């Protein structure tokens, strides 16, 4: 499938829940956002049906499971097994790692191939300040994922004013263990636009800090990947560092993704607040209208922007990272 600008769209990010046990400052709005009721969330059978149709009719190749926090959704390994029967090239997941220690083995056995784990600091006090969570639980989850063979294991670190001093320590720690560290620029979405300028750290600053400690050489990344990859070599460590820079080095022109929210909206961009309602098609009283399904997919693909949208009004926790 191609969008309005001729880009091949073959990746789908699926949010399986808009709930999360953490309250990351760049993701969860202040106050108490009301999560979707259980009946509003797509069932596993519905998600698998969407993936099967998009694979058969639109050439879908890769799926990433997101949230909220996907491991808040019970029996997630059941969904992974269902998706494995579709015949995709890859099924991966992004998680905060808080519940990963107890589920990594089952997820790998079900067919999950790799995980990205969010980790913004290795200092327990700073991690709690940013996320409200327990650093030890995420570190245990990362270790469990590595033991389960979920590789390549990627560590996602959102850098803002306050944890930029952790960049070098995070890199040393990740490379010493054979993980790929990826530094993400903050996006002006959801709860953060009001204070965005004060806390934003550009990729250039992150890279400059790393160049003072590591020998850095750019390497070629996979076509369509949002990350710019560099090989980093220090005194005792070496490996791959990725930079995901939607603001200063936007990759919209090569984006290959659609996003399915937990409530069944199909989005062409993470910065979109809403999109066509796929859930309504799936739950039609007269059964699924296949032509209507295809029309929703094409509409979402046609909505993909060519250039970066500067501010999003949606909630990151409901869209999925």
Q: Is residue 181 part of a domain?
A: no
Q: Is residue 266 part of a domain?
A: yes
Using an 8 Å Cβ cutoff, are 114 and 150 in contact?
yes
- CA dist 218 → 202, 228, 230, 232, 248 (Å): 18, 8, 4, 9, 17
Q: What is the pLDDT of residues 4-25, one digit of tens each?
A: 899 999 999 999 999 999 999 8
Q: Is residue 41 part of a domain?
A: yes
Give ∠ CA 278-317-42 in degrees, rounded to 5. 30
Burial group, residue 181, by CB count within 10 angstroms (0-12, 13-18, 19+): buried
pLDDT of 108 above 70: yes
Domain that holds residue 95: 11-161+254-319
- CATH code of the domain covering residue 286: 3.20.20.70
H or E element in which residue 48 lies:
helix 44-58
Using an 8 Å Cβ cutoff, are 245 and 185 in contact?
yes
d(CA 166, CA 157): 10
- How far from each other are the two terminal CA atoms of the chain, in whole angstroms? 23
pLDDT of 141 above 90: yes
Q: Is residue 52 part of a domain?
A: yes
H or E element in which residue 289 lies:
none
Q: What is the pLDDT of residues 188-244, one digit of tens each?
A: 876 566 788 899 999 999 999 999 999 999 998 887 789 999 999 999 999 999 999
Give me the number of domains the chain comprises.
1
Q: Is residue 218 part of a domain?
A: no
SS3 268: coil
Q: What is the pTM of this model?
A: 0.94
Q: Binning pLDDT at 50, 70 and 90, where does residue 154 land? A: very high
CB atoms within 10 A of CB 104: 26
Percentage of the residues of the chain whose pLDDT score is greater than 70: 93
Contact partners, residue 13, CB within 8 Å, separation at least 6? 63, 64, 66, 257, 258, 259, 260, 320
How much is the pLDDT for 273?
79
**Mean pLDDT value across residues 171-190:** 93
Tokens of 308: 């970066």
pLDDT of 33 above 80: no
Q: What is the pLDDT of residues 302-317, one digit of tens each?
A: 999 988 776 555 665 6
């Amino acid at each position: 499938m191609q969008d309005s600008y001729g880009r091949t769209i073959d990746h789908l990010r699926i949010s399986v829940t808009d709930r999360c046990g953490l309250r990351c400052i760049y993701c969860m709005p202040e106050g108490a956002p009301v999560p979707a009721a259980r009946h509003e969330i797509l069932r596993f059978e519905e998600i698998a049906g969407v993936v099967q149709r998009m694979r058969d009719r639109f050439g879908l190749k890769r799926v990433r499971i997101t949230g909220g926090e996907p491991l808040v959704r019970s029996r997630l390994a059941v969904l992974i097994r269902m998706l494995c029967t579709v015949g995709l090239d890859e099924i991966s997941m992004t998680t905060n790692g808080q519940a990963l220690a107890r589920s990594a083995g089952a997820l790998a056995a079900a067919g999950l191939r790799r995980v990205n784990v969010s980790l913004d600091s290795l200092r327990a006090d700073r991690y709690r300040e940013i996320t409200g969570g327990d650093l030890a639980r995420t570190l245990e989850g990362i270790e469990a994922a590595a033991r389960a063979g979920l590789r390549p294991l990627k560590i996602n670190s959102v850098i803002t004013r306050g944890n930029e001093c952790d960049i070098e320590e995070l890199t040393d720690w990740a490379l010493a263990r054979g993980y790929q560290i990826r530094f993400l620029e903050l996006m002006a979405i959801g709860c953060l636009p009001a204070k965005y300028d004060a806390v934003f750290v550009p990729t250039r600053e992150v890279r400059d800090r790393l160049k003072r400690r590591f020998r850095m050489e750019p390497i070629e990344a996979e076509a369509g990947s949002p990350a710019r990859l560099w090989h980093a070599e220090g005194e005792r460590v070496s490996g791959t560092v990725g930079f995901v820079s939607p603001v200063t080095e936007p990759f919209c022109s090569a984006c290959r993704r659609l996003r399915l929210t937990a409530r069944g909206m199909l989005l062409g961009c993470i910065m979109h607040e809403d999109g066509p309602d796929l859930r309504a098609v799936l739950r039609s009283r007269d059964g699924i209208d296949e032509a209507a399904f295809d029309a929703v997919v094409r509409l979402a693909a046609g909505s993909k922007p060519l250039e970066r949208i500067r501010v999003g009004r949606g909630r990151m926790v409901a869209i999925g990272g």
